[in-house]
Amino acid sequence: MDIRQLKDNIRNFSLDDGDLGSQGYTRVLLQLFGYTGHGKSSFINSCKYILEGDENFEEHAEARETDHGLTMVRNAYPLTNVITMVDNRGCSKMNDFERAEVYAQLGNFIPIGEKVEWKDNYSAMMEAIENTELEPNFSDFIVPIFVYSVRQQISAEEMQDVKTFMENCVKMTGVFPIIVLTFKMKGDYQVIEKQFRLIGAETVIAIENYTTESNIKTLERTTDILMVIDSALRNVRFRLEQPRDPRRERIERKKFMYNYIHQIQLQHEREKQEIEKSEREKEGKKQEEEKKEKCTLL
C-alpha cells in the first residue's frame, strides 16, 4: 500500500462504514502508553506532520530526546474528525498504584485535559473513578498503543510488566495493543521486536520519528508511521464487524478497575501483616534472649 492510499484510508475513515454501523461510537481514541522519554509525544508530532501536509514541522506535543518524559497532563490531539491521539502520562518504574493509574487512563476514567497524579492509596483511586460517573465517557473506541525505544535494553521485569499490560488491554478494550518501536535507526530494533513477539505481541512496527532537527520527509519513514495508524483502524473495523455495546463495555472496564484496585489493597494489607508479624517475632526473640541473659547472671 503506497503513501497516498494510506493517507486516504486514514483521512476518509468512518465509524459508519461497517454493516453494523458505528454501534454508538463517535470517536476512535488512539491511546499512547509507555515509559517516560520513549517517544510518545514525538510520535504524535510525526503523525500530525504527515497527515496535515504542512511543510514546516511543528511540535504540537512537547517532546525531547531524554529518558525523562514531560507529559503530566492527559492531552488529546485530533488527527481527523474521527481519530484522536491521546498522550498519556508515562512512568519510569511502575509500582502497583501507578499500574492502576495507567489502566485508569486506558479506560477513560481520567478525563482528557486533566493532570495525572500518581495516587498511593485505595480510597483516593476509588473516589477518582466514582467522580467520572458525573460525565461518563462510553462513546470512544479505544485502541491501545505501547511505545518503546529500541535504544533501551528491556529487562525481564519490564517485559513481564508489558506482557501483563497487553493482556489487560485485551480485557479492557478487546484490542491487542500495537507495539511501536521508536528510534529505529539508533538500535537493533529486530532484537527488541523479537522479544515483544515472544510475549504475544500481534503487531510490532519500528519507526523513526520526525523532529525539529530531522524533518525531511522520506518514503520509508513516512510509510512506517502511517502503517501504525492504519493498523489501529483495521483493528477497529474488525471489532465493529461484531455486535458491540459501548455502555456495557464501560461498565465492564469499571468492574475490572474495581477488582484490580481491590487486589492491590489486599496485597498491601497482606504485606503489612507480614511485616508486623516479622516485627513481633523479632521482638519476641529479643525478649527471650534478654530473659536467658538474666538467668545466666543469676
Tell me the mean pLDDT in the region 142-147: 96
Q: Give CA separation, 118 vs 100, 112, 155, 208, 265, in Å.
A: 9, 16, 23, 30, 15
Specify the range with the lowest mean pLDDT, choosing from 29-33, 106-110, 146-150. 106-110
pLDDT tens-digit readout, 41-53: 999 999 999 998 7
- CATH numeric code, 3-262: 3.40.50.300
* Beta-carbon contacts of residue 82 (< 8 Å; ≥ 6 apart): 13, 14, 15, 27, 28
Mean pLDDT of the chain: 86
C-alpha 152: how far from chain center: 18
Across residues 8-13, what is the average pLDDT?
A: 95
Percentage, residues of the chain above pLDDT 70: 91
pLDDT digits (tens, 9 = 90+) for 177-195: 999 999 999 989 999 999 9
SS3 30: strand
pLDDT at 172 over 90: yes
pLDDT at 273: 87
**Residue 66: exposed, middle, or buried by beta-carbon count in 10 A (0-12, 13-18, 19+)?**
exposed
In this prediction, residue 297 carries a pLDDT of 61
Question: Exposed, middle or buried by CB within 10 Å (0-12, 13-18, 19+), for 292?
Answer: exposed
The answer to which of 24-33, 129-138, 164-173, 262-271 has the lowest mean pLDDT is: 129-138
Which tens digit of pLDDT belongs to each residue from 66-94? 434 445 678 899 999 999 999 987 666 66
- Please report which helix (H) or strand (E) contains residue 83, including its range: strand 83-87
For the residues 270-294, what does the mean pLDDT come to? Answer: 81
Query: CA-CA distance, 166 to 169, in Å (whole number)?
Result: 5
